[in-house]
Amino acid sequence: MPALFHLAFPVRDLAAAKRFYVEGLGCVLGRESSTAVTFGLAGHQLIAHLASESIAPQKGVYPRHFGLVLTLEEEWQALADRANAKELTFYQQPRRRFAGTRIEHLTFFLEDPSQNLLEFKHYLHESAIFGERDFTAVGDAE
């Protein structure tokens, strides 16, 4: 089995997180306790931990967000369509970034009930995922 990515993140309400990640995004539900829930997202492990202190909302998508790079445009579009159908909160609507370049990609951001931001993207050129080092743009902050 290849290595799996693991991410732990804070939430305010476990039941709301469970609805968003399982019913909304379609994550696989894993173990649960009174303070945490485990989800499977595209074969990777996410763990929502109940925060004991308040979670300050982030102002913008930087510096922190997480998500998936979908390798097929059809998968990206299907997830965007699912998010719309499930009435998930879009932090940024689906759009195209860096059009006409080797790093061109489709992207959208969702906001979970605890205001964690998730990005889902699809690169038109697979080389842009880890390559295309001659481009200096990384995100919109530059």
Domains of the chain: 1-52 (3.10.180.10), 63-142 (3.10.180.10)
Tens-place pLDDT, residues 83-121: 999 999 999 999 999 999 999 999 999 999 999 999 999
Distance in angstroms (rounded) separating the CA atoms of residues 18 and 63:
25
Rounded to an integer, the average pLDDT of 60-71 is 92
Backbone φ/ψ region at 115: left (φ over 0), alpha (ψ -120 to 50), beta: left
Partners of 66 in beta bridges: 118
pLDDT given for residue 125 in this prediction:
95
pLDDT given for residue 114 in this prediction:
95
The model's pTM is 0.92
